[in-house]
Amino acid sequence: MAKVALITGGMGGIGTSICKALADAGYTVVTTYSKPGKEVEWLASGKEAGYSFHAYQCDVTDFDECVALAGRITADVGPVDVLVNNAGITRDASFKKLDKVNWDAVIKTNLDSVFNVTKQFVDGMTERGWGRVINISSINGQKGQFGQTNYSAAKAGMHGFTMALAQEVARKGVTVNTISPGYIATDMVMAVPEDVRNKIIAGIPVNRLGKPEEIAALVAYMASDLAGFMTGANVAINGGQHTC
């Protein structure tokens, strides 16, 4: 029976590539979405490409909705073996202009969701003696970024969570790791004015944006049996832009 992989926020550029990579690796793939509408087209597009994904509406900032989500997935698809915490938003502003609403929105979506969703599945992983939790952070959680105190704090917090939980579940066959992508050629980044995008690329030693498929390939490795000796790690994949 195929293992089940859950990717939160899996309908974006990186998320879709992760869903495809894990499906290609033999997993039954489940994702979440926050607002109804997009999932119909996304599921249809995946089906045309040969993928049979499962999608559930869930506000990952709401603990009770995550409890309900876990019950639905388990009943419909089976227990979750691989969890990729990928849901995230930005609400950029300099700290002087940042208000409490946008601070809370980013912390809840990018960090609280990691607790809310992981809490539903990690005990089952430890009981079965195998599991993978993969947290998608950011280069800006490592080095910080002007105008992103909220986002940088949340993404740095994700790796703190990774390091602590990894120690708690390592003896039970469950690994917990972080991936910190740099600038990736998603639709959002490609929509940035060309001159701004060129300035970003000029600061990347490999002189290009990353590809969503490159992040997805790393996720697929971390989800595999071959990654059983890797836990508590934060793997930077940013074209050499930040090396610490």
Residues 6+ positions from 188 with CB-CB distance below 8 Å: 12, 13
What are 195's two structure tokens?
């001159």
Q: At residue 182, what are phi and psi to the nearest 5 degrees?
A: -90, -145
Answer positive or negative: Cα dihedral of 21, 23, 25, 31: positive
**Cα–Cα distance for residue pair 199/39, rounded to 1 Å:** 34
Catalytic residue among 27, 151, 183, 221: 151
Give the C-alpha distances (Å, rounded to integers) separating 109 from 48, 102, 114, 168, 225.
30, 11, 8, 24, 30
**Cα–Cα distance for residue pair 32/36, rounded to 1 Å:** 10
151 catalytic residue (yes or no): yes
Residue type at 4 in one-letter notation: V
Closest CA to 21 of 73, 66, 68, 82: 82
Please identify every residue annotated as catalytic.
151
